[in-house]
Amino acid sequence: MNIILLGPPGAGKGTQAQRLVSERGMVQLSTGDMLREAVAAGTPVGLQAKAIMAAGELVSDAIVSALIGERLDSSAGRGAIFDGFPRTQPQAEALEILLGERGRALDSVIELDVDEDALVERITGRFSCAECGTGYHDRFKQPKVEGTCDVCGSHEFKRRPDDNEATVRTRMAEYRAKTAPILPFYEARGLVRRVDGMASVEEVAGQIDAILDGA
């Protein structure tokens, strides 16, 4: 099963993808995570992407499509969760070619339907474990023991440099201008399923599970 999680910044794509990885053994393919790794490693791609990401704008289609192409085979036989990709029409077309070349296809495009104003609070309160990447939130999901990661026990946490309000507003504008317009491409293929992204994490998970299990 190969699915796209589609929604604006803070919609819950990463949260739900991490859960599907641990519960279903699927593979999360997040272009945001791949780009952040490239920035941290100081690769040529990272050097190009750093300022663009800090401004909340989109990195070039060629770069992100190549990143997905490099990692796609790691999900063969397990199923891919595309998280934050595709974000433009050319990326949607590139994904079709990449999957088609491998005899694979998309099963669903799950759109997380959200109220953008509420997302600013979600994003500016977000932090994650510096060791294993597990996501947390100041209000919605604190570690069970204060200052200690639930998963790996680390005491180091980090926040993303693009999680400030001004950059979040730019990221949302980019979503409206360039990403939301790809929905008709998938609607024409009968692939789009909407879930209420404003419900609790558990309720959103239940709605996604119902789609994946064909209920």
Show the tokens assigned to 70: 């490099």
| Residue ranges in 62-121 that form contacts with ligand AP5 under rule CB under 6 A | 64, 84-85, 87, 91
Tell me the H-state helices in 25-107: 31-41, 44-55, 61-71, 89-101
Active site residue 71: no
Partner interacting with residue 80 (select from Zn ion, ligand AP5, none; CB below 5-8 Å by kind): none
Run of H or E including 204: helix 201-212
Q: Which stretch binds ligand AP5 (CB under 6 A): 20-28, 38-46, 134-142, 145-153?
A: 134-142
Alpha helices in the chain (DSSP H): 13-24, 31-41, 44-55, 61-71, 89-101, 116-124, 165-174, 183-187, 201-212
101-160 binders of Zn ion (CB under 5 A) = 129, 131-132, 134, 149, 151-152, 154
Q: Is 28 in the site for ligand AP5 (CB under 6 A)?
A: no
Q: Which does 19 bind (CB under 5 to 8 A by kind): ligand AP5, Zn ion, none?
A: none
152 binding partner (options Zn ion, ligand AP5, none; Cβ < 5 to 8 Å by kind): Zn ion
CA angle 10, 11, 16 (to 5 degrees): 105
Residue type at 205?
Answer: A
* Dist CA 112 CA 199 (whole Å): 10
Nearest to 6 by CA among 106, 102, 99, 104: 106
87 is catalytic: yes
Report the length, in residues, of the chain: 215
CA distances from 14 to 2, 75, 103, 146 (A): 16, 17, 26, 22
**Closest-CA residue to 30 (of 22, 18, 40):** 18
Cβ closest to ligand AP5, residue 59 vs residue 80 = 59
Q: Nearest 5°: phi and psi at 156? A: -100, 130
The response to whether 71 counts as a known ligand-binding position is no
Considering the rule CB under 6 A, would residue 143 count as an interface residue with ligand AP5? no
Min dist. Cβ of residue 160 to ligand AP5 (A): 7
Q: How far is the CB of 80 from ligand AP5 (least distance, A)?
A: 14
Whether residue 193 is annotated as binding a ligand: the answer is no
Residues that bind Zn ion (CB under 5 A): 129, 131-132, 134, 149, 151-152, 154
Residues that bind ligand AP5 (CB under 6 A): 7, 9-15, 31-32, 35, 52-53, 56-59, 64, 84-85, 87, 91, 122-123, 126, 135, 137, 140-141, 162, 171, 200-201, 204
Active centre residues (catalytic): 13, 87, 126, 160, 171
